[in-house]
Amino acid sequence: MLRKINCFFHFPKHVSFSSSSNPCTCQLPLSSFPPSSPYLKSLCSNGQLGEALLEMAFQGPAMKFEGYDALLNECVNQRAIREGQRVHAHMIKTCYLPPVYLWTRLIVLYTKCDSLCDARRVLDEMPERNVVSWTAMITAYCRKGYASEALNLFIQMLRSGTEPNEFTFATVLTSCIGPNGINLGRQVHSFIIKTSFESHVYVGSSLLDMYAKAGRIHEARGVFECLPERDVVLCTAIISGYAQLGLDEEALALFRRLQMEGMSSNYVTYASLLTALSGLAALDHGKQVHNHVIRSQLPSYVVLQNSLIDMYSKCGSLTYSRRIFDSMPERTVISWNAVLVAYSKHGKGNEVVELFELMREENEVQPDNITILAVLSGCSHGGLEEKGLEIFYEMETGRFGVEPEIEHYGCVVDLLGRAGRVSEALDFTKKMPFEPTAAIWGSLLGACRVHLNVEIGDSVGRRLLELEPDNAGNYVILSNLYAYAGRWEAVRALRELMKEKAVIKEPGRSWIELDQILHTFHASDRSHPRREEVSAKVMELSVEFKEAGYVPDLSCVLYDVDEEQKEKILLGHSEKLALAFGLIATPKGVPLRVIKNLRICVDCHNFAKFVSKLKGREVSLRDKNRFHQIVGGICSCGEYW
DNA sequence: CTAGGGTTAG
């Protein structure tokens, strides 16, 4: 209605203006009034999409490029798909022939409104396409995770003779992520070199990320070093590349170097850095990053807060972890998962269950498969097998909206095995709808070792060795079990088999952080400046502990040497070195926080209990899977890990 | 008009 009034107001003015240039205009019928593009544009820029659509209807076939452009622009801004469809329909009805630009705006509109089919239809039906139209569609497929559609379309684009540009390359490479995409990615890389886009930062970041995510970190680094220009995203990509591969020291070192060279950081950079610090359990560094984040008054980014939750928990500080979680103005499922995992790894089963109940009560975010995994493994580590089973059966009814996957079944096997219900666990693996993985057999074997079930352990262990002949850990556990049972012949046979298959054990490393320095120890590495002193201290402790009842567990040594040698090997284990160093280098009563890259061995676990009891230190040991919080000789793991 | 890096688990 408003428009009509306006129209009449404008009428006389318009006629007088037009008549001066073209005297015939005043006789034209009403429908051919020259349209008021500025008016339509102002409606659009005010966000009055409804009014603007009325104006469009009023103008009918007189609609011009500017009007459509303004309308589509605002539809994109508002993600207004229905309104956009009306504009689209109007073009068709009035036989308007849009230029490529407008067709492309339609594609963009549909992709931003998650209507990829509509977008694709436009692309297929428009009379001609340019690089932007193709790229917009490819980008949409990439973002939605439709990698093969994206790549097919890219190929179709090349066949059509359209030259890709830097936008196309930056986006299409994100669909070459993963082991299968790498070959195609290399081809795209050579194409990029041929077309001279290889020094473009956006293209470079994408390329780098592709190599990093395929585990080809040297190639990623090569791309990084060759780029003439660097920005935050590129620097973050290489740092997170290292961090995601567990190359935490490299990530940290590179961050330091780049920072000295003047790199700017943003919240993504910090999140990636925190991932590396979590891996290293570098609490002092982590706190420094946290302080920096607070001081620089960054807005509250959920992603960054999530990283902080994880960092504190993996550095052993559950309190801080929870504090971050509680202070967050908004949380995603990842925030909940991170804090659930935190409690789970610390063996706090009750807290896990409590928090999960709170999550369901608040009902702001829906649990996902990882949530349930964290809860189940929390119940397992926390000794709540009945509760865990209850939750698993509830999951099977579909109550959480998450379908049970093989990992969930694995948790139940772990749960039953840990509770000593080993044969039930074995039955469960037979009944579950998945083929058991090596991890599941491994957890069952662990249960057999702890509960000394040689019969099941024997058959499970054999299957496991067939399935995973290269994993040294399996040989160790099975050998432990045979040793407990006094089956020395079997121990020997296992050792032969290991030699035959040339299984290489990943070297065990342990470290401890003192004043922002990580002191790393390794059984056969003598590079630490105080290494001699540390070894002497271990010997001294061993003597002292033996008087108090410590008996070295020689079954932890797989080498075929005499007992004296075995004991010597045990005393060289990296965990003991790190503990001894902690005792030497910190004042009495200070808790010791030791991190190990592998599972901790039974003997070292025992040794640590003596440290806590006889030396009056709380010992926090983080191994590959979980935390061992040892106070007064009692460990939070309940002797099962 | 079209583009790159990120947090939980394993």
Give residue-wise pLDDT tens across range A242-261.
Answer: 999 999 999 999 999 999 99
Identify, with chain letter, the residue nearest to nucleotide B7 (CA–C1'). A303
Cβ A556 vs Cβ A601: under 8 Å: yes
Q: What is the pLDDT of residue A17?
A: 31
Q: Which nucleotide is nearest to A103 (CA to C1')?
A: B1
- If you ran DSSP here, which 8-state letter would residue A467 be given? H
Q: Tell me what the pLDDT averaged over chain A comes to.
A: 90
pLDDT band at A134 (very low <50, low <70, confident <90, very high): very high
Identify, with chain letter, the residue nearest to nucleotide B1 (CA–C1'). A105
State yes or no: pLDDT of A221 exceeds 80. Answer: yes
Q: Which nucleotide is nearest to A335 (CA to C1')?
A: B8
Residues contacting A430, CB < 8 A, separation 6+: none
Rounded to 5 degrees, what angle do the CA atoms A196, A199, A203 make? Answer: 95
Q: What is the pLDDT of residue A5?
A: 30
State yes or no: pLDDT of A363 exceeds 70. Answer: yes
Could you tell me which residues are beta bridge partners of residue A462?
none
Give residue-wise pLDDT tens across range A408-423.
Answer: 999 999 999 988 899 9
CA distance A152 to A76: 26
User: Which amino acid type is present at position A374?
Assistant: A
The token duo for A533 is 């002193």
State yes or no: pLDDT of A4 exceeds 90. Answer: no
Counts of helices then strands in chain A (DSSP H, E)? 33, 6
Written as one string, the DSSP assignment of A390-442 is: HHHHHHHTTTTS----HHHHHHHHHHHHHTT-HHHHHHHHHHSSSPPPHHHHH
The token duo for A451 is 């509960």
Distance A10 CA to B4 C1' (A): 50
The runs of H, that is alpha helices, within A98-181 are 100-112, 116-125, 131-143, 147-159, 166-172
Q: What is the pLDDT of residue A563?
A: 85
Per domain, the residue ranges of chain A are 428-505, 536-635
CA distance A640 to A444: 12
Distance A81 CA to B10 C1' (A): 39
| A167-176, A514-523, A540-549: segment of lowest average pLDDT | A514-523
Distance A377 CA to B8 C1' (A): 14
Q: Which nucleotide is nearest to A167 (CA to C1')?
A: B3
The token duo for A57 is 């209807």
The token duo for A215 is 């585990």
Q: Quick one: which of A574, A570, A580, A594 has its CA closest to A509? A: A574
Q: Does residue A180 or residue A84 have the better pLDDT?
A: A84
CA distances from A625 to A381, A637, A638 (A): 10, 11, 14
Distance A409 CA to B9 C1' (A): 14
Q: Does residue A5 or residue A523 have the better pLDDT?
A: A523
Q: Which nucleotide is nearest to A270 (CA to C1')?
A: B6
Could you tell me which residues are beta bridge partners of residue A512?
A519, A594
Distance A311 CA to B8 C1' (A): 11
Q: What is the pLDDT of residue A33?
A: 52
Q: Quick one: which of A527, A503, A637 has its CA closest to A577? A: A527
State yes or no: pLDDT of A12 exceeds 50. Answer: no
- SS3 label, residue A135: helix
Q: What is the pLDDT of residue A84?
A: 97
State yes or no: pLDDT of A32 exceeds 80. Answer: no
CA distance A148 to A163: 20
Average pLDDT of A471-476? 84
State yes or no: pLDDT of A1 exceeds 50. Answer: no
Distance A94 CA to B9 C1' (A): 55
State yes or no: pLDDT of A27 exceeds 90. Answer: no
Distance A369 CA to B10 C1' (A): 12
- If you ran DSSP here, which 8-state letter would residue A145 be given? T
Average pLDDT of A41-53? 95
Average pLDDT of A144-148? 94
- SS3 label, residue A631: strand
CATH topology for A428-505 is 1.25.40
Q: Quick one: which of A438, A424, A439, A340 has its CA closest to A389? A: A424
Average pLDDT of A516-538? 89
Q: What is the pLDDT of residue A22?
A: 41
Average pLDDT of A210-223? 97
Could you tell me which residues are beta bridge partners of residue A619?
A592, A630
Give residue-wise pLDDT tens across range A556-590.
Answer: 777 778 888 888 888 999 999 999 999 999 999 99
Average pLDDT of A134-140? 98
State yes or no: pLDDT of A237 exceeds 90. Answer: yes
CA distance A170 to A189: 11
Average pLDDT of A504-510? 86
Q: Does residue A308 or residue A500 have the better pLDDT?
A: A308
State yes or no: pLDDT of A125 exceeds 90. Answer: yes
Identify, with chain letter, the residue nearest to nucleotide B4 (CA–C1'). A202
A208-236 residues labelled b (16+ CB within 10 A) or e (exposed): bbbbbbbebbebbbebbeebeebeebbbb
What string of H, E and C letters represents the secondary structure of A500-544?
HCCCCCCCCEEEEEECCEEEEEECCECCCCCHHHHHHHHHHHHHH
Q: Does residue A175 or residue A178 have the better pLDDT?
A: A175
Nucleotides on chain B within 7 angstroms of protein Cβ: 1-10
CA distance A336 to A489: 49
Q: Which nucleotide is nearest to A107 (CA to C1')?
A: B1
Average pLDDT of A614-618? 95
- If you ran DSSP here, which 8-state letter would residue A594 be given? E
Distance A200 CA to B2 C1' (A): 16
Identify, with chain letter, the residue nearest to nucleotide B9 (CA–C1'). A370
